């Protein structure tokens, strides 16, 4: 079965897609879902650390900090759930390339309020859109549909929390802080998005990973998929004035603002 709707696969509609047999296309769908889940795990681990730091600085008797602890517990279970799914789909989590790996490390150590919640909202909304579609589609593997359904339900609370925390915090930040946040947010969204599909998945279906990566990043269908998945969070953050200046270039480069 498919693990992802064929139209959402990064190579859909390209000459490399035409070269793949039906069986290989389905295998690629499973590997791409597994790869996206490993990026989900990467970001959830970053998010857990950021939320722990957020709780460390604030008053644990407030509902607001207690909610942060609840979310850490949710993300912890999601990580185990995703990791098991990745194994069942025949993939394993490869460490990201050094640039993304170390930027993630720096980001989770230094990100402050607006960056924590805008970053979280970005990853959560993109995954949410893909999973909402998957959970309703009968062509998709039952395992992927069930994992998607669980995640969609639990993330609905997280996204609301992230949206509200972001808006509250952003409103109180000065011009310099906002400029810095916009740039860093652009970098985070760029690295999260461009790492969604590990080129090693292309190798597994018999394609040249370098060539397939280039073809995917220029693929108008794939750019449309990313823009579609990010459209809500792009609208929220653009309205707040968080997607402009030099940071905006990274959103565009990542294929999040259309062709
Ligand atoms: Fe999650
Ligand atoms: Fe979450």
Reported as a single tens digit per residue, the pLDDT across 147-182 is: 999 999 999 999 999 999 999 999 999 999 999 999
Distance 14 CA to ligand 2 centre (A): 33
The size of the chain, in residues, is: 259
Neighbours of 155 (CB within 10 A): 23
The 10s digit of each residue's pLDDT in 55-113 is 999 999 999 899 999 999 999 999 999 999 999 999 988 889 999 999 999 999 999 88
Distance 121 CA to ligand 2 centre (A): 8
Q: Contact 212/199 with Cβ under 8 angstroms?
A: yes
Distance 157 CA to ligand 2 centre (A): 8
Query: Of the bound ligands, which one is closest to the alpha carbon of residue 71?
Result: 2
Query: Of the bound ligands, which one is closest to the alpha carbon of residue 151?
Result: 1
Distance 17 CA to ligand 2 centre (A): 33
Query: Of the bound ligands, which one is closest to the alpha carbon of residue 78?
Result: 1
Q: Contact 86/78 with Cβ under 8 angstroms?
A: no
**pLDDT value at 212 more than 90:** yes
Give the mean pLDDT of 232-242: 96
Give the mean pLDDT of 225-244: 96
Neighbours of 197 (CB within 10 A): 23
The 10s digit of each residue's pLDDT in 30-69 is 999 999 999 999 999 999 999 999 899 999 999 989 999 9
pLDDT of residue 249: 97
Distance 155 CA to ligand 1 centre (A): 6
Distance 58 CA to ligand 1 centre (A): 23
pTM (global) more than 0.85? yes
Distance 74 CA to ligand 1 centre (A): 7
Q: Where are the alpha helices (DSSP H) in the chain?
A: 15-19, 22-57, 63-88, 98-110, 113-135, 142-171, 175-194, 200-204, 209-218, 220-239, 247-253
Give the mean pLDDT of 214-235: 97
**pLDDT value at 131 more than 90:** yes
The 10s digit of each residue's pLDDT in 15-26 is 999 999 999 999
What does residue 142 show for φ and ψ, rounded to 5 degrees? -55, -40
Domains along the sequence of the chain with CATH = 6-253 (1.10.620.20)
Residues with CB under 5 Å of ion ligand 1 are: 78
DSSP state of 62: S
Rounded alpha-carbon distances, angstroms, from residue 164 to 76, 97, 117: 22, 33, 9
pLDDT of residue 251: 97
Query: Of the bound ligands, which one is closest to the alpha carbon of residue 42?
Result: 1
Query: Of the bound ligands, which one is closest to the alpha carbon of residue 50?
Result: 2
Distance 159 CA to ligand 2 centre (A): 7
Distance 13 CA to ligand 1 centre (A): 30
What is the distance between the alpha carbons of residues 220 and 61, in angstroms, rounded to a whole number? 49
Distance 5 CA to ligand 2 centre (A): 23
Distance 244 CA to ligand 2 centre (A): 25
What is the distance between the alpha carbons of residues 89 and 92, in angstroms, rounded to a whole number? 9
**pLDDT value at 185 more than 90:** yes
pLDDT of residue 64: 87
Q: Contact 44/250 with Cβ under 8 angstroms?
A: no
């Amino acid at each position: 079965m498919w693990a992802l709707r064929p139209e959402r696969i990064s190579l859909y509609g390209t000459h490399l897609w035409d070269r793949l047999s039906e069986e290989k296309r389905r295998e690629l769908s499973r590997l791409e879902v597994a790869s996206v889940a490993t990026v989900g795990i990467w970001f959830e681990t970053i998010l857990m650390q950021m939320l722990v730091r957020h709780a460390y600085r604030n008053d644990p008797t407030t509902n607001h900090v207690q909610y942060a602890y609840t979310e850490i517990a949710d993300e912890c279970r999601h990580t185990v759930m995703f990791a098991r799914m990745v194994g069942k789909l025949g993939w394993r989590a490869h460490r990201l390339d050094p640039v993304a790996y170390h930027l993630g490390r720096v980001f989770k150590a230094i990100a402050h309020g607006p960056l924590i919640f805008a970053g979280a909202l970005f990853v959560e909304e993109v995954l949410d859109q893909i999973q909402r579609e998957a959970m309703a589609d009968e062509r998709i593997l039952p395992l992927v549909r069930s994992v998607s359904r669980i995640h969609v339900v639990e993330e609905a609370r997280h996204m609301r929390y992230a949206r509200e925390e972001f808006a509250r915090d952003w409103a109180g930040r000065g011009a310099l802080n906002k400029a810095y946040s916009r740039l860093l947010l652009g970098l985070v969204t760029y690295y999260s998005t461009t790492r969604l599909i590990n080129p090693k998945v292309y190798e597994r279906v018999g394609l040249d990973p370098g060539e397939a990566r280039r073809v995917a990043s220029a693929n108008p269908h794939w750019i449309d998929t990313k823009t579609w998945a990010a459209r809500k969070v792009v609208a929220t953050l653009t309205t707040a004035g968080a997607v402009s200046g030099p940071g905006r270039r990274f959103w565009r480069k990542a294929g999040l603002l259309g062709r």
